[in-house]
Amino acid sequence: MLKLVLTIWNADELFFENGDSRKYFILLIYLLALKIIRSMENIICMKWGAKYSADYVNILAEMVRRNMSRPYRFVCFTENSSGLKSDIEVRPLPEMNLAEHLPERGWRKLTVLAEKLADLEGRALFLDLDIVILGSLEPFFEVSGKFRIIHDWDFKRKSIGNSSVFRFEIGQHSDILEHFLTHGKSVRAEYRNEQAYLSHAMQAKGILEYWSEEWCRSFKRHCLLPFPLNYFAKPRQPANAKIIIFHGNPNPDTAIRGYVGKYGFRAVLPTSWVAEHWKE
């Protein structure tokens, strides 16, 4: 937007006979556009490494488009934008120097808490790539609260969230990131992953809140039938669920095709309702 304004500003051919009038007009247009941008909701995701292809980002963007009515920006933070659709806003993946031998625990997601997050302002809804959106995302912006996250299904008696879907205020929690960058070794020793640390830090601030339980459901916990019924019945689609979370195996694409896990206990019959939603 700024580059466009500057280009017109310095153009040799004037739209107005009075150059000052033209520049004031362009400045007004720019300020109005800036106001519109700042009033838009931010929906962000991250892609790094080779675990997920560009298709995951493209499909996520389309699922968001189908389930949002208010103005929004869809921004992907990545070090490799190859294959991403042109209408997806791409920003550089924030740097975080992690030792290569460390197991993947999602620590890089903490970089969205930086004091300055690219050109984004206001609040942001973070979405993991391996989710399936079934219904409107509007309620995730309508509910109050400074920080909201999924209450992890495996730790109902503890204050631990699942960060597949969380909403936060941009630039307001850089202290959490800075503490990890300074004391990363001790943080990793105390907390198994980023979401446990993030939940604890937000609870310490007194702002940890959870989404409505029925909004975000686990594919493994709430859709799959137990062994051996999973060999005879397809996974169920939870009533009133807005987002299905795929943590571990299978992923959405393998759930669509069908999947048999280690030792054969976690078998998934081809799931057509996932295919109906997880698509461009």
- Regarding whether 165 and 91 lie in a shared domain, the answer is yes
Give the pLDDT confidence score for residue 170 in this predicted structure.
98
Strand partners, 43: 74, 125
- Regarding whether 46 and 32 lie in a shared domain, the answer is no
Residue with tokens 């790539």: 129
- Regarding whether 162 and 185 lie in a shared domain, the answer is yes
Give the pLDDT confidence score for residue 261 in this predicted structure.
87
- Regarding whether 182 and 57 lie in a shared domain, the answer is yes
Check: CB of residue 36 under 8 Å from CB of residue 121. no
Q: Which residues have CB under 8 Å from 89's CB, separation 6+?
A: 73, 74, 75, 76
Q: How many domains does the chain have?
A: 3
Last residue in a domain, options 193, 210, 227:
210
Q: Which domain holds residue 27?
A: 2-37
Kindly state the tokens that stand for 215. 């909004």
- Regarding whether 169 and 121 lie in a shared domain, the answer is yes
CA distance 156 to 199: 13
Residue-by-residue DSSP string for 10-41 = T-SS-SSSSHHHHHHHHHHHHHHHHHHHHHSE
Check: CB of residue 173 under 8 Å from CB of residue 207. no
Cis ω for the linkage preceding 228 (within 30 of 0): yes
- Regarding whether 236 and 100 lie in a shared domain, the answer is no
pLDDT tens for the chain, residues 1 to 280: 545 554 555 554 555 556 665 665 555 555 554 555 567 999 999 999 999 999 999 999 999 999 999 999 999 999 999 999 999 999 999 999 887 777 778 899 999 999 999 999 999 999 999 999 999 999 999 999 999 999 999 888 788 999 999 999 999 999 999 999 999 999 999 999 999 999 999 999 999 999 999 999 999 999 999 999 999 999 999 999 999 999 989 999 999 999 998 888 889 999 999 999 999 9
Last residue in a domain, options 184, 210, 236:
210
- Regarding whether 225 and 86 lie in a shared domain, the answer is no
What CATH number is associated with residue 162? 3.90.550.10
- Regarding whether 62 and 18 lie in a shared domain, the answer is no
- Regarding whether 26 and 154 lie in a shared domain, the answer is no
Last residue in a domain, options 165, 187, 210:
210
- Regarding whether 19 and 48 lie in a shared domain, the answer is no
- Regarding whether 186 and 80 lie in a shared domain, the answer is yes
CA distance 173 to 24: 37
- Regarding whether 125 and 9 lie in a shared domain, the answer is no
Check: CB of residue 221 under 8 Å from CB of residue 153. yes
Give the pLDDT confidence score for residue 2 in this predicted structure.
47
